[in-house]
Amino acid sequence: MALKIYGIPRSRAFRTLWMAKELGLEYENIPIDTQGGSRAPDFLKINPNGHIPAIDDDGFVLCESMAINLYLAKKHARGSLYPIRFEDEALTWQWSFWGMTEIERPLLTALFHRALLPEDKRDAKLADENEHQLGRPLMVLDAAVANTPYLLGEHFTVADLNVAGVLSWARPARIDLGHVPKMADWLKRCAERPAARAARELQR
Ligand SMILES: N[C@@H](CCC(=O)N[C@@H](CS)C(=O)NCC(=O)O)C(=O)O
């Protein structure tokens, strides 16, 4: 049975769809939306949290975008997208948790208040404050990719995908990346991968 990926591509399910494309997996995308779909009784049986993405991998159900990507990469791509060395695996977790805890919320707040909310509901000051909060973490990321093309070194891994997946909101949120040029180059390298492009196509 093909992997089922629940969630419309214009959501955090984008991260999982990008991973599925990197891995060349056969999958079925079930377009659960955020306008009620994720709270419908049938979907709550899949993810009682009422959030997308979630997957059903031959009966194994999992939610949380970062966990899903770590699972899929470890299952299908140990030694390439998923590292083998314990230390590299730990760094992969570090960067994935970092993406969720250090940058996701301020980035999403800026995105909502600059692009997603109806204009009369946007708070420009709040958006600016949240962009300001991103200053330090983005400098940390800039330093991490100053001397190597990817977070773990020479090769793109799930660590890059998970962090770049979150940072795919930077452009629509109009985050100024001028002070973090190495990070901006890294983000471009990640975003230009064929699998990332293919996943973005699904958002059109
Ligand atoms: N930490 C979760 C967050 C999931 C999440 O909040 N997804 C949003 C869409 S991007 C959602 O399901 N919103 C609809 C709702 O909460 O009803 C993850 O990374 O998977």
pLDDT tier, 74 (very low <50, low <70, confident <90, very high otherwise): very high
Best residue among 12, 55, 97, 163 to mutate for probing ligand 1, ranked by most atoms within 8 Å of CB: 12
Average pLDDT, the chain: 98
How far is residue 195's CA from residue 182's CA, in Å, rounded to a whole number?
22
Beta bridge partners of 82: 78
Q: How far is the CA of 12 from the centre of ligand 1 (A)?
A: 7
At residue 10, the pLDDT reads 97
At residue 114, the pLDDT reads 98
Q: Is the peptide bond before 53 cis (omega within 30 degrees of 0)?
A: yes
- Over residues 101-149, the pLDDT tens digits come to 999 999 999 999 999 999 999 999 999 999 999 999 999 999 999 999 9
**64 CA: nearest ligand 1 atom:** 20
Q: What are the start and end residues of each CATH 3.40.30.10 domain in the chain?
A: 3-77
How far is residue 3's CA from residue 187's CA, in Å, rounded to a whole number?
28
Q: How far is the CA of 49 from the centre of ligand 1 (A)?
A: 9
How far is residue 201's CA from residue 194's CA, in Å, rounded to a whole number?
10
At residue 189, the pLDDT reads 98
At residue 200, the pLDDT reads 98
Side-chain-side CA neighbours of 52 within 13 Å: the count stands at 27
Q: pLDDT above 70 covers what percent of the chain?
A: 100
Q: Assign domain 86-198 to a CATH class.
A: mainly alpha
At residue 97, the pLDDT reads 98
pLDDT tier, 155 (very low <50, low <70, confident <90, very high otherwise): very high
pLDDT tier, 23 (very low <50, low <70, confident <90, very high otherwise): very high
* pLDDT of 1 above 80: no
Q: Which helix (H) or strand (E) holds 5?
A: strand 3-6
Matching CATH number, 3-77, of 3.40.30.10, 3.90.1300.10, 3.90.700.10, 1.20.120.850: 3.40.30.10
Q: For ligand 1, atom 2, name the residue with the nearest CA.
A: 64
Q: What are the start and end residues of each CATH 1.20.1050.10 domain in the chain?
A: 86-198
At residue 46, the pLDDT reads 98
12 touches ligand 1 (CB under 6 Å): yes
Q: pLDDT above 90 covers what percent of the chain?
A: 99
pLDDT tier, 173 (very low <50, low <70, confident <90, very high otherwise): very high
- Over residues 144-154, the pLDDT tens digits come to 999 999 999 99
* pLDDT of 53 above 90: yes
